[in-house]
């Protein structure tokens, strides 16, 4: 191999022949070595260069233009391609960089925004687009094509960089962008009258036997059924790629069959239902529109199925367990406060005195014990507002609220409601008196009262 690096390059001739048969086109490729060069010393993957030289050639027979060839054998070889992988946060940032869109300081905001607005959701590490994203993209590409053109966005980013560097004026740029003859204000006025809400809310899936639309409460499918219009809500996190005829058939069948009655709750006498909604299958206690003590219709109690649960496996007992969440596991032996297990936005958890700990398999929210919950709570790191109390000093004379010495991230401090005052470095937490704490809190409150609060703009 070392010798080969010092030798002359090999010269090869590549030949491509195109053979047309009616509408079909076939291609044959050949390769001929004109000068072996370094192949004489080294051929990748072979210990015998001379013998391997023959395998480097694929010679075609002599052919001429418009010559007819005989078919000896015709074999159809299947080849499947895979769709491009979905973006992750890292690959999306890389793609934005390649297009000149965004800056390092804005990439995190961009990714947060598309998730907050329901355009994508995370599935493992992948960013999966939603049906709402499809509808918004269709609308923008049809009516505001320039605004969603990557070149336009990249030019805008560069202009903003120039403004930040002092090379361009911000007022003139914004006036032109918003109020110019082709500015955003005039564009919106012009296009708003042209947008048909019925068309804009429809997501184009030409191969599906139903309409796919975005409604007030999320995406849904609609189909004419014996003169009636049948609509079914779609799960919020159903990837558009998974919306096929089999899924649609299943959703429509569930809708036509109606909810499944699992049985009767022994405590209330109400029926327990298994239903399917925009966020997936769930169980419900009682009927819609039942009136409460005040005479107003109240919302029936509902509980979503846990991850991994299948609707066909849900019976009355399991449904009642789900409806009973959050459940009390017992009393914490040190504080005398309740320990609960429930399901929240981020999944199953146990909680005690405001400290939440997520439950991971094999722990199950339906059967986790008090002893196990205490272990998890004790082992979990203290975060955020769950600060350690170093000393209880007494109550504030004005409102009776407790005054405490707390252990904070930057050292001990005294606390009363929302007012905190850091202890001097030469003062030990155990030596602080209530009088000293009240004086420090009063001084801190006086300083806070003299400050003007800055208003923060809400994120768009």
Q: What is the pLDDT of residue 132?
A: 93
Confidence band of 48 (pLDDT split at 50, 70, 90)? low
Choose between 370 and 298: higher pLDDT.
370
Q: What is the pLDDT of residue 47?
A: 59
What number is the average pLDDT over the span 293-300? Answer: 75
Angle, helices 107-116 vs 89-99, to 10°: value is 120
Spatial CA neighbour of 148 closest among 187, 115, 122: 187
At residue 51, does pLDDT exceed 70?
Answer: no
Q: What is the pLDDT of residue 327?
A: 94
Do residues 69 and 106 make contact, with C-beta atoms less than 8 angstroms apart? no
What number is the average pLDDT over the span 171-185? Answer: 90
Strand-pair category, 301-304 with 280-285:
antiparallel
Among the ranges given (173-187, 188-202, 218-232, 305-319), the one the predictor scored with the smallest mean pLDDT: 218-232
Confidence band of 457 (pLDDT split at 50, 70, 90)? very low
At residue 384, does pLDDT exceed 80?
Answer: no
Do residues 280 and 305 make contact, with C-beta atoms less than 8 angstroms apart? yes
Confidence band of 83 (pLDDT split at 50, 70, 90)? confident
Interval 114-148: pLDDT, tens = 999 999 999 888 999 999 999 999 999 999 998 88
Q: Across the chain, what does the average pLDDT equal? A: 85
List the beta bridge partners of residue 330.
339
**Alpha carbon of 420 to those of 366, 389, 408, 416, 425: distances in Å?**
40, 13, 10, 7, 15
What number is the average pLDDT over the span 401-423? Answer: 84
Q: What is the pLDDT of residue 458?
A: 43
Q: Ramachandran region of residue 275, left (φ > 0), alpha (ψ -120 to 50) or beta?
A: beta
Interval 251-296: pLDDT, tens = 887 776 678 889 999 999 999 998 877 677 889 998 876 766 666 7
Q: What is the pLDDT of residue 55?
A: 64
The SS3 call for residue 338 is strand
Residues in the chain: 460
What number is the average pLDDT over the span 241-257? Answer: 83
CA distance 304 to 300: 13
What number is the average pLDDT over the span 69-82? Answer: 81
At residue 358, does pLDDT exceed 70?
Answer: yes
Q: What is the pLDDT of residue 410?
A: 66
Please state, for a pLDDT cut of 70, what percent of the chain lies above it: 90
**Alpha carbon of 390 to those of 395, 396, 432: distances in Å?**
15, 17, 11
Interval 327-356: pLDDT, tens = 999 999 888 999 999 998 778 999 998 888
Q: What is the pLDDT of residue 139?
A: 93
Place of tokens 């030469």: 426
CA distance 176 to 263: 66
């Amino acid at each position: 191999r070392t010798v080969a690096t010092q030798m002359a390059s090999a010269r090869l001739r590549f030949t491509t022949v195109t053979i047309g048969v009616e509408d079909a086109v076939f291609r044959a490729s050949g390769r001929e070595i004109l000068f072996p060069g370094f192949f004489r010393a080294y051929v990748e993957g072979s210990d015998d260069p001379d013998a391997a030289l023959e395998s480097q050639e694929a010679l075609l027979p002599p052919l001429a233009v418009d010559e007819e060839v005989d078919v000896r054998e015709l074999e159809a070889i299947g080849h499947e391609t895979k769709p491009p992988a979905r973006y992750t946060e890292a690959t999306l940032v890389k793609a934005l960089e390649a297009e000149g869109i965004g800056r390092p300081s804005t990439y995190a905001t961009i990714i947060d925004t598309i998730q907050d607005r329901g355009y994508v959701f995370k599935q493992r590490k992948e960013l999966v687009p939603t049906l709402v994203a499809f509808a918004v993209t269709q609308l923008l590409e049809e009516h505001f094509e320039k605004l969603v053109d990557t070149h336009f966005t990249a030019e805008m980013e560069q202009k903003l960089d120039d403004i930040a560097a002092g090379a361009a004026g911000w007022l003139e740029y914004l006036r032109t962008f918003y109020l110019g003859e082709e500015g955003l204000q005039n564009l919106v006025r012009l296009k708003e009258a042209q947008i048909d809400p019925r068309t804009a809310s429809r997501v184009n899936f030409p191969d599906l036997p139903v309409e796919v639309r975005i409604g007030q409460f999320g995406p849904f499918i609609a189909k004419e059924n014996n003169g009636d219009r049948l609509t079914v809500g779609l799960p919020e996190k159903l990837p558009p790629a998974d919306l096929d005829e089999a899924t649609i058939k299943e959703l429509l069948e569930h809708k036509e069959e109606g909810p499944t009655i699992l049985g009767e709750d022994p405590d209330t006498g109400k029926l327990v239902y298994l239903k399917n909604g925009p966020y997936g299958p769930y169980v419900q206690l009682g009927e819609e529109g039942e009136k409460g003590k005040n005479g107003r219709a109240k919302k029936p109690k509902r509980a979503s199925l846990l991850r991994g649960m299948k609707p066909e496996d849900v019976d009355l007992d399991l449904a009642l367990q789900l409806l009973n969440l959050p459940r009390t596991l017992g009393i914490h032996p040190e504080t005398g406060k309740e320990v609960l297990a429930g399901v929240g936005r981020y999944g199953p958890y146990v909680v005690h005195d405001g400290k939440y700990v997520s439950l991971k398999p094999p722990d199950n929210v339906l059967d986790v014990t008090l002893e196990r919950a205490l272990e998890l709570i004790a082992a979990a790191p203290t975060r955020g507002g769950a600060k350690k109390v170093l000393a209880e000093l007494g109550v504030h004379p004005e409102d009776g609220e407790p005054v405490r010495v707390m252990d904070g991230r930057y050292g001990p401090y005294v606390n009363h409601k929302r007012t905190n005052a850091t202890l001097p470095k030469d003062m030990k937490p155990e030596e602080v008196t209530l009088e000293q704490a009240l004086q420090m809190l009063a001084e801190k409150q006086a300083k806070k009262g003299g400050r003007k609060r800055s208003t923060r703009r809400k994120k768009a």
